[in-house]
Structure 1
Amino acid sequence: MSSTMTHRDDIEDVLNRYAHAYDDRDAEGVGATFAEDGELSLRISGGDLVGPWSGRAAVVEMMAATLATQEDQRRHLASTFTLDACDGESARARSYLTLVAVAGGELRVLTTGRYVDELVHGEHGWLIRRRHIELDLPY
């Protein structure tokens, strides 16, 4: 079996842990999915690059500030996961995002987009080295 398939489940798992931590409003949990030198950036509707936030501490700080402003219950639904490359030490992956929220008894689709991830494997397993989020619409 190729190293890509050997590591696929573990890589997909760390990306899913990111989503669960975000939706649970756990900034430290989000940070735990990033390498110490991890980086997060995003772009909305082809606009200017936002970020990057460089280093796990900067990602956690940004996440904590963002989560403090959200009053709805978010669900980050990642799908169509593709592992583009993996050599056992680093990997590149892509997936789609559908972001939904529940507030006041109503469900809304906030936006869709794409995650583009670079990951590294170390003594603590797979971690996100770089995550770039391309959102299709502002919300």
Structure 2
Amino acid sequence: MKLIATILVCLGLLVAAQDDCPGEYISIGSHCYWISNDEYSWDDGRDQCTTYQPDHRSAGLAHIDDCKELGEVWRYIVENEDPTEDYWIGGSDEAEEGVYRWHSTGHEVPRGIPFWFPGQPDGAEEENALSLSKTGYFADEAASIPQRIICQLL
């Protein structure tokens, strides 16, 4: 019962977004995000995010380590983007197999539900990049797969 309540809180809570996001970045929850229309490999997506930095602010693939923020980003995708696609975000286990870390901060990616789809990560050495999957949860994927990207101002 606690698990269901936690998931509902993560997916259902929305707060007023800030209005000070520059360029094509949009306010979702407490951060500024840009969601691409084009698809990239994980590495190319990471490069694309660091290239597109409006107002000289740092940007990278999104790091979402708060369940409320995950719910807000997913809700935005469902309402405004394509929820049948997967989206690259900024975590990987390249440095240490099975230990996912955010590329922008080096902090460990939260484990388990409500973040990861049950049974994920499951890709061993073949799937080292973190995706926000069409399930609304994190999943590990092969970094070479083309996906849309979610960039975040840091």
For this structure pair, what is the TM-score category when the shorter chain's length is used for normalisation?
under 0.3
Taking structure 2 as the reference length, the TM-score comes to: 0.25
Higher normalized contact order (CA 8 Å, seq sep 6+, divided by chain length): 2
